[in-house]
Amino acid sequence: MKYVLSGVIFSISLTAFPQSNNDSVAIIQLLKDDYHTMMTHDLEKHKSNCIKDYLLVEKGDVWDMEKESEWYKNDASKVYNRKDYFTFRLVNISGNTAYAIYHLQSDFTENGNSTTKYWNESAVFKKINDQWKIALIHSTPIAGKQ
């Protein structure tokens, strides 16, 4: 009996793992693609990546999509290059909800000047119609590195 039970548990974990792994990859790719919309100023793509009541917590302020849309529109006139580097600490999935904790480094070049900014961030995701969407991003600048 002991061996049968172990075999059943092993089989269950093997069948469950690939979907979780696929979801983790999809979540990471979604987040990277969404950050790219800041560089391309693609507000419509950003909106399609997020749920209807998406929120951003940025430097202590809570932004809804309307406020973030203003940022996208104001930033569209700027010409700069941005490269984002993610270090994922954790992606946790439970049913149709997931969260990620990650470190973000962004290198900016504008008018020949380069700057680098660093954040610790977390994001919450919802799976809707078999597609992951961003529900919330919480962005915290790393003190002394800005």
- Mean pLDDT for all residues in the chain: 87
pLDDT over threshold 50, residue 99: yes
Domain ranges of the chain: 2-141
The angle at the Cα of 24, spanning 86 to 34, to the nearest 5 degrees, equals: 50
Q: How far apart are CA 56 and CA 62, in angstroms?
A: 6
pLDDT digits (tens, 9 = 90+) for 23-61: 999 999 999 999 999 999 999 999 999 999 999 999 889
Q: What is the fold, at CATH topology level, of the domain defined by 2-141?
A: Nuclear Transport Factor 2; Chain: A, (3.10.450)
Q: Which residue has the higher pLDDT, 97 or 9?
A: 97
